[in-house]
Amino acid sequence: MQHIILDCDPGHDDAMAILLAVGNPDIDLIGVTTVGGNQSLDKVTYNARSVLEMAHAADIPVHAGCDRPLLRPLEVAASIHGESGLDGVALPEPTRPLDAGHAVNWIIDTIMNSEPGTITLVPTGPLTNIAIAARMEPRIVERVKEVVLMGGGVHVGNWSPVAEFNIKTDPEAARMVFREPWPLTMVGLDLTHQALCTPQVQSRIDAIGTELSAFASGLMDFFRASYRNDEDFVDPPVHDPCTIAYLIDPDVMTMRRCPLDVETADGPALGMTVADLRGSEPSAQDCHTQVALKLDFDRFWNMIIDAITRIG
């Protein structure tokens, strides 16, 4: 059983990550924390609570975190996710009040009060909350089991020619998180651009025939239109649930261990994740970071279909 904290900014693909985490028996989603990213903090926090409501998982706590990057103004992705952050579907009103306490404090308290090596951090938005948590309480770094994040890219960007949105919008936080010595897996665009919601996949979601499957399909309809209009994709890449899929079954993707760093200097390379792929692959003892490169497409979508079906 994987005990995870999902730090997110829902976001259509974040919503699918929540559904996969809730619906898979190998994942224990102990809490959701939110960060300003795809939309403003208040919007993405509402979205997280609403998606949990939709997934019959309103008992899972949600804590709101940082509303802007460490040093830079908030830059949202309304062109992809719409004005609400989850345009295209009717969102149910959350029944559980927003949990008190800042996300960073809750992350620290949860890790420090758990057995070492039992909590995995899964950030699928800008890395602001995670960076501040590691600075406020450095002891969490050695207590966390691992960090599995969606962000970056070895060979491709989307928010600039070389930088992915989550990393570029708070590159200083990303550099801090990448440089901490915890085991870190970067599930970036090289991998997630293979996780396409094709019409064949979406027809399988529709065939489940539940209110939740219709909700998920509605998310994909809007996401498809956004990616066709803004990113020149025929089918939308569903980035964020790839992190959860890796935790369920690491064999769903092919990894490459390599040193990683983040460019923070203003200029055309701002937010670039730099992967050192020279020479032979280092050992886990010599290198604490790895990147995901190749996805088992069918195995990935089978997980999501199964999770939506299980939730009912």
Residue ranges per structural domain of the chain: 2-311
CA atoms of 86 and 78, how far apart (whole Å): 10
Output the pLDDT for position 228. 81
pLDDT at 227: 86
Judge contact between 92 and 54, C-beta under 8 A.
yes
pLDDT score recorded for residue 45: 98
Q: Which of these, 93, 26, 88, 113, lies nearest to 229 by C-alpha position?
A: 88
Pick from 286, 268, 83, 289: which is nearest to 174 by CA? 289
> Where in the sequence numbering do the catalytic residues fall?
239
Question: What's the CATH architecture for 2-311?
Answer: Alpha-Beta Complex (3.90)
pLDDT tens readout for residues 252-262: 999 999 999 99
pLDDT of the residue at 250: 98
Q: Mean pLDDT across the stretch 178-190?
A: 98
Q: Give 268's pLDDT tier (boundaries 50, 70, 90).
A: very high
What's the rounded mean pLDDT across residues 226-242?
A: 89
58-71 pLDDT per residue, tens: 999 999 999 999 99
Residue 13, H or E segment: helix 12-23
Average confidence (pLDDT) over 212-230 = 91
Beta bridge partners of 28: 3
pTM of the shown model: 0.97
Cα(169)–Cα(36) distance, rounded to whole angstroms?
10
pLDDT tens, residue by residue, 30-49? 999 999 999 999 999 999 99
pLDDT at 79: 87
**Proportion of the chain above pLDDT 70, given as a percent:** 100
What confidence category does residue 209 fall into, taking pLDDT thresholds of 50, 70 and 90?
very high
| Separation CA 34–CA 65 (nearest Å) | 5
Helix (H, G, I), strand (E, B) or coil at 205: helix
How many whole angstroms separate alpha carbon 216 and alpha carbon 233? 19
pLDDT above 90 (res 297): yes
Residue 230 pLDDT > 80 = no
